[in-house]
């Protein structure tokens, strides 16, 4: 008589992988914060990937600052170690609302398939599909001003799109930058002007100093490793190209034309050294990349506190400058 399946991976009790390959996922999560009621921003949900039943949330400022320009578009890719997260989670919703109001931009927040039910590159493929959905809206409006969704309207600027990714979302943003390149017409009329990576979730077999340092309040090395084991293609290591942009099998980024990139990281993050090394290497290759470090901050400092700290307002101003610089 065979033994009963036992837990081989346990993520905080909310996600468990069993020895027979079965998975338990709990949606009964008690969040410490609630969704902010910001009446200056409205939002709608759209199904963008029918095959996998994936939706995105589209945020739009109610009253636009007086100017003659159309609203830029921000695509926000949430974090969660590729294993957790949804556009509906309070801190993700609040972050997108804050981005919409603070940047005077429309914000598109897509869900993507989660691991280990759907291992990488599923999340990256879904992010590409979200950009294609946006492209379809732009093409319909281009052909006929009444052809697209009336709520999206003709006041949206498909020529000024920015991708913002947090943690695993930052990893996805990097792979989008590589796939789409700079100046590519593949997604016309959508033109991605720049990428913002908040503490991108990169990995590698060789430990960095910050990874071996003291754990963060909500993140430790054991959990980081577990996320990789659950999200990587079976049998692959943390040096796989999806985890390590500079691994032995990763594409030579020197040959890839990338759009402008801004990397933002907290000084106390386990992922700090990898983000810093990423920016340094791309800078040495002549890429348009900037690295900013916020002293004393831990992982998710902007996403989790987008409405409750002066630091969040500072980040908004930095994003504004980046968007302005890369729009010309």
| Residue that is written with structure tokens 């933002």 in the block | 264
Q: CA 63, CA 58: separation in Å to the nearest integer?
A: 16
Three-state DSSP class for residue 308: coil
Order of strands across the sheet that contains 261-266: 41-49, 54-61, 106-110, 71-77, 156-166, 192-198, 261-266, 289-294
Instruction: Write the CA distances from 141 to 73, 144, 151, 222, 261, integer angstroms.
Output: 15, 5, 12, 48, 29
Find tokens 């504004």 and name the residue. Answer: 320
Among the listed residues 167, 168, 210, 231, the single catalytic one is 167
- DSSP designation for 291: E
- Neighbouring C-beta atoms of residue 118, cutoff 10 Å: 16
Candidates 269, 298, 304, 306; catalytic one:
269
Whether 308 is catalytic: no
Active site residue 167: yes
The token pair at 304 is 């989790």
> Scanning the structure block, which residue is given the tokens 């990763």?
250
Tokens of 7: 């837990």
Q: Do β-strands 15-18 and 7-11 pair in parallel, antiparallel, or remain unpaired?
A: antiparallel
The secondary structure element, H or E, covering residue 320 is helix 310-326
CA dihedral 49, 237, 203, 27 (to 10 degrees): 50
- Looking from the CA of 139 toward its CB, the CA atoms found within 13 Å total 10
Active site residue 86: no
Task: With beta carbons less than 8 A apart as the criterion, state whether 277 and 208 touch.
Answer: yes
- CB within 8 Å of 314: residues ≥ 6 apart: none
Catalytic-role residue among 298, 299, 304, 306: 299
Task: Report the catalytic residues.
Answer: 167, 269, 299
């Amino acid at each position: 008589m065979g033994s009963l399946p036992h837990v081989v991976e346990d993520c905080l009790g909310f996600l468990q992988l069993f020895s027979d390959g079965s998975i338990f996922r709990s949606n009964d999560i008690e969040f410490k914060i609630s969704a902010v009621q910001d009446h200056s921003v409205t939002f709608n949900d759209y199904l963008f990937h029918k095959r996998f039943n994936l939706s995105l949330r589209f945020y739009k400022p109610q009253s636009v600052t007086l100017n003659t320009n159309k609203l830029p578009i921000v695509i926000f890719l949430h974090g969660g170690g590729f294993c957790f997260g949804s556009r509906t989670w309070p801190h993700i919703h609040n972050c997108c609302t804050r981005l919409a109001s603070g940047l005077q931009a429309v914000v598109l927040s897509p869900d993507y398939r989660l691991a280990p039910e759907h291992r990488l590159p599923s999340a990256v493929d879904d992010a590409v599909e979200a950009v294609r959905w946006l492209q379809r809206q732009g093409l319909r409006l281009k052909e006929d001003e009444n052809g697209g969704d009336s709520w999206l309207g003709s006041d949206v600027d498909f020529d000024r799109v920015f991708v913002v990714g947090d943690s695993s979302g930052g990893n996805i943003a990097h792979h989008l930058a590589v796939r789409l390149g700079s100046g590519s017409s593949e997604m016309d009329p959508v033109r991605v002007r720049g990428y913002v990576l908040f503490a991108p979730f990169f990995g590698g077999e060789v430990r960095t100093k910050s990874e071996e340092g003291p754990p963060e309040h909500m993140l430790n090395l054991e959990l980081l490793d577990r996320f990789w084991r659950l999200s990587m293609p079976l049998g692959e290591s943390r040096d796989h190209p999806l985890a390590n942009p500079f691994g032995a099998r990763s594409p030579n980024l020197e040959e890839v034309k990338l759009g402008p990139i801004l990397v933002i990281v907290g000084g106390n993050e386990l992922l700090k050294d990898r983000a810093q090394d990423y920016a340094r290497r791309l800078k040495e290759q002549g890429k348009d990349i900037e690295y900013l470090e916020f002293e004393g901050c831990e992982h998710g400092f902007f996403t989790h506190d987008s409405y409750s700290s002066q630091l969040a307002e500072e980040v908004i101003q930095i994003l504004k400058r980046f968007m302005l610089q890369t729009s010309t």
